[in-house]
Amino acid sequence: MNALSTPFCIVTEEAIAGVRDSQGKYFAAIMGIDPTQFAADTLNPRKPEDMAAVLEAYVSLAGKKVLEIGTGCGVNHIVWTKKFGIDGWGVEPEGEGFEASGGVAQALIRANGLDPSRIKDAHGEALPFPDASFDIVYSSNVLEHVEDPPQVLREAFRVLKPGGTLQIVCPNYLSYFDGHYGALHPPIFSNSFFQGWMKWVYRKDPSFAATIRTQVNAVWAKRQLREIGRTVPLEVLTLGEAKFLERMDTMVFGQWMRMGVVGKLVEIARALRINKLAARLIVALRGWTPLIITARKL
């Protein structure tokens, strides 16, 4: 058991080593973060509790049947199952930089006394579940990595029950910061620009940037939900702008959100007493982050 462990999730030393030696080493050059620190951040079981608080502003988790698209190393699945008693399921395909995540998740879920067979090796574009199967469909930091983001959204609504809630948290590429590279940038209007920015401004290998779906932004999300809404009755609850304003007004962030470049810029804005003004300007320009795409299927 690692010191990261909480009453709702045992984090094993094997899991830390597995993430450190796979994802941690892969992202060391991209993010400029120590592999051990990357593993600790990835497996931090306190993060799912903060994530749950955002979701529960719209729907209670207790006892719900929940699908997580992109379960990663399984920490969210474990914490939500143990703390909220969800009937949890997930999908997690293997991919570049994440080759060991499936094995880490299986072992960690088993170490926490849960059934690893609930996590399916599948893609969000073709969910292996019947229509109207889940009360909640949730995903965090996955949509920008999938092959076909609109299809993932369509599949999410397909497996959602009427009255069910979708929440997808992902970057907004009309924003000014990319968490993968830990880099500031202007609004991204093309992936080729994103690659060039990382290569020439930050002197980093742009090959990972080439895999990011930089079309994912606030304007894109509104358009996709409007298109889906023509065939699937739905109500858009938020795209995350209110939560961004709240965080900038109260200066209350999750621990990992206070770290790095963004945390330093927020502290400067607060010291200058321009944090609220800056936040409202950013929202007006559609640049808040992250997107918190939340909708209810009617």
Judge whether residue 256 has pLDDT over 60. no
> What percent of the chain has pLDDT above 70?
89
The total of other beta-carbon atoms located within 10 Å of residue 90's CB is 22
Tens digits of per-residue pLDDT, 106-127? 999 999 999 999 999 999 999 9
Residue with the larger pLDDT of the pair 96 and 275: 275
Mean pLDDT of 148-176: 97
Tokens of 59: 């729907």
pLDDT of residue 103: 83
pLDDT of residue 199: 95
pLDDT of residue 196: 97
Per-residue pLDDT band for 23 (boundaries 50, 70, 90) equals: confident
Contact (Cβ atoms closer than 8 angstroms) between residue 17 and residue 51? no
* CA-wise closest residue to 129 among 81, 68, 50, 73: 68
Judge whether residue 155 has pLDDT over 70. yes
Angle between helices 275-284 and 241-250 (to 10 degrees): 170
Mean pLDDT of 256-281: 64
Judge whether residue 144 has pLDDT over 50. yes
Please tell me the pTM assigned to this model. 0.93
Q: Are strands 87-91 and 65-69 parallel, antiparallel or unpaired?
A: parallel
pLDDT of residue 260: 56
pLDDT of residue 25: 87
Kindly compute the dihedral angle of the four CA atoms of residues 43, 46, 47, 49, in this order, to the nearest 10 degrees: 130
Tokens 């909220």, located at residue: 84
Contact (Cβ atoms closer than 8 angstroms) between residue 297 and residue 233? yes
Among the CATH numbers 3.40.50.300, 3.40.50.1370, 3.40.50.150, 3.10.580.10, which is that of 13-172+202-239+291-297? 3.40.50.150
pLDDT of residue 33: 82
Among the listed ranges 62-71, 93-102, 233-242, which one has the minimum average pLDDT value? 93-102
pLDDT of residue 195: 97
Q: Over the chain, what is the mean pLDDT?
A: 90
Mean pLDDT of 47-57: 96
Residue with the larger pLDDT of the pair 85 and 183: 85
Mean pLDDT of 130-136: 98
Judge whether residue 258 has pLDDT over 50. no
Judge whether residue 257 has pLDDT over 60. no
pLDDT of residue 3: 86
φ, ψ (nearest 5 deg) of residue 183: -125, 140
Tens digits of per-residue pLDDT, 198-235? 999 999 999 999 999 999 999 999 999 999 999 999 99
Judge whether residue 252 has pLDDT over 70. no
pLDDT of residue 101: 74
pLDDT of residue 95: 53
pLDDT of residue 267: 66
What would you report as the CA-atom Rg of the chain, rounded to the nearest whole angstrom?
Answer: 19
Contact (Cβ atoms closer than 8 angstroms) between residue 62 and residue 84? yes
pLDDT of residue 255: 46
